[in-house]
Amino acid sequence: MSQKEFLQQLDEAEIFVKSEQILPSVELWQIDDKHWQRFAELAAENKMRWAAGWAEQNGEQFYVHACFEKAGDYILLRATINESKPEILSQATVYAAANRSERHTHDMFGIDFLNHPDPRCWMRHKAWGKRDYPLRHNFPVQGTPADITPPDTDYHFVQSHGVGVYEIPVGPVHAGIIEPGHFRFQAVGELILNLEERLGYVHKGTEKIAEGRTPEGLAKLAARVSGDTCVSHAWAACMAMEQAAGIEIPKRAALIRGIFAERERIVNHLGDIGAICNDVAFTFAFMQFMRLKELWCRSNYELFGHRFLMDKIIPGGVADDITDASSKFLHTEIEELRIALNDLIPALDLNSSLEDRLYTAGYLSPETAAHFGTLGFVGRASGQDFDVRRDATYAPYDSVKVKVALENQGDIASRFWVRYKEINTSLKLIEQFVEQLAQLPEGDLMTEWQTPKSGSYGLGIVDGWRGEIISYVRFAENNTIARFYPRDPSQLNWEALEKAVLNNIVPDFPVCNKSFNCSYSGCDL
């Protein structure tokens, strides 16, 4: 069903929409708040994917947003509710993907989502009072912290009962250097019956401290939403700001952004492949893939001044150029990586011990993947054939053909091989972008900034290495930020992990977890 036909269906249901085209692939639809849940029901019937949700305060009102996608076309849905009675029907009763997003919005703004299937607080870990809402305008940036935040001991995890059933609490502090997160298992013997996650232990206040920043300051903040996704989060935020300002970046800058994003994808996939092997004690592969990742991180530093390309995406363009000498180095590095992978991959593919641990383990069915709106390599390993670069294309991907890696077995092995296939695609994309750069005359790397009008907003949608990233930005007066919301793909993938580990044994959880490699920081805003 097309959006036009869907609008007609809404009219028949007496849900009246005020629409506005804000991007070639994005429309803003404003509806009455009483139709919020019914809209979700009709969207689900039309097989639309729930992609993101957030809110913002505007005077004595709140705007509540939800973003839906189908076949690369997006609907940004908005409803207005009053501060005096901030409540709206929950869309989580229809879309499981909306669950934690709505809980986050409740904790930050005090908006009640009526009939929500899980009313427990999500972000409030005793750091502020029950009636304190950090993203309201009257809440100070520094808050009112106690000398010591009391422990969050009254969170009611799901309970299991029965002969031989026991609980295993893991975290929130882990033995390694990973960020904090709590995992509560119920098991019989070694068989996992249930897993429940608890995140938000390092709430950074990202959304709050974005308020009042300049575009340059917001780009820096976005690059730090998740440290392994500096390029893509900054790109999404800058794309949103550039839409609000009505500017188009130079073609040269777009190509360089594409190169940076694909290098980020390659670096992370190399590290993940090695880490998956490490979690099943295949140390040789771990060492080799981490070596390759390290070489690419060092090249990032030598060529562009930062191992993870932080602060290289700036409002209006990019901070660094790619010279002829750099282009030659990139070509050489690509060929060296291909040779290394051609030597290594057969050793993994023919290793029966590795197969025993990866195949059929951590199974995520296509139906479950779709139910939770899973993204990136997690979704694509379970048959979710979606990639923003191809399906809602943007420069420079609109000048090339993006081959999307797809598997449908849904196990750890599928997530492993999707990563490998995506590395090969990224190598080809970088080569094509470098060739296009060579055909361009040397030119500007950024477009002169134009101060947006107060109230101007934009929606940046890019494909990061974990999948679709959505960033919303609205400007206040004097070129400052009024609202910033970044939706990392992990927000949707984390819940799918809870289902993928069911009926696996407890010792397989680490490798199941690593095969998803969700970001804690990307959710602990």
Instruction: Identify the CATH number of the domain in which residue 364 sits.
Output: 1.10.645.10
Same domain flag for 260 and 377: yes
- Amino acid identity of residue 449, one-letter, is W
Residue 196, in any domain of the structure: no
Dist CA 275 CA 2 (whole Å) = 43
Within a domain: residue 509?
A: yes
Domain termination residue (choose one: 84, 114, 144): 114
Backbone angles phi, psi at 411, to 5 degrees: -100, -175
d(CA 194, CA 505): 11
Question: Cβ contacts of residue 412 below 8 Å, gap of 6+?
Answer: 276, 357, 358, 359, 361, 362, 511, 512, 515
Taking the C-alpha atoms of residue 424 and residue 418, their distance in angstroms, rounded to an integer, is: 10
Structurally, how many domains does the chain consist of? 2
CA distances from residue 323 to 303, 312, 409, 429, 437 in whole angstroms, order as listed: 10, 15, 42, 18, 9
Q: What angle do CA 1, 236, 101 make, to 5 degrees?
A: 65
Domain that holds residue 35: 3-114
**How confident is the model over 272-299, as a mean pLDDT?**
96
Could you tell me where the beta strands, DSSP code E, fall in 72-225? 73-82, 87-89, 112-114, 165-170, 182-188, 191-198
Q: Where are the alpha helices (DSSP H) in 305-405?
A: 324-349, 352-358, 366-371, 376-380, 388-391
Closest alpha carbon to 212 in 505, 522, 475? 475
Here the tokens at position 12 are 């028949």
- Predicted confidence at residue 1, as pLDDT, reads 61
d(CA 218, CA 214): 6
- DSSP 8-class letter at 97: G
- Which two three-digit tokens encode residue 524? 């602990």
Is 488 within the bounds of a domain?
yes
Do the domain assignments include residue 216?
A: yes
Is the pLDDT at 12 greater than 80, yes or no?
no
Query: Could you read off the pLDDT of 361-412 as tens digits, one per residue?
Result: 999 999 999 999 999 999 999 999 999 999 999 999 999 999 999 999 999 9
Q: Which of 97, 114, 131 is the last residue of a domain?
A: 114
pLDDT digits (tens, 9 = 90+) for 195-232: 999 998 888 899 999 999 999 999 999 999 999 999 99
Residues 502 and 370 in one domain: yes
Of 114, 148, 177, the residue that ends a domain is 114
Q: 291 vs 15, which has greater pLDDT?
A: 291
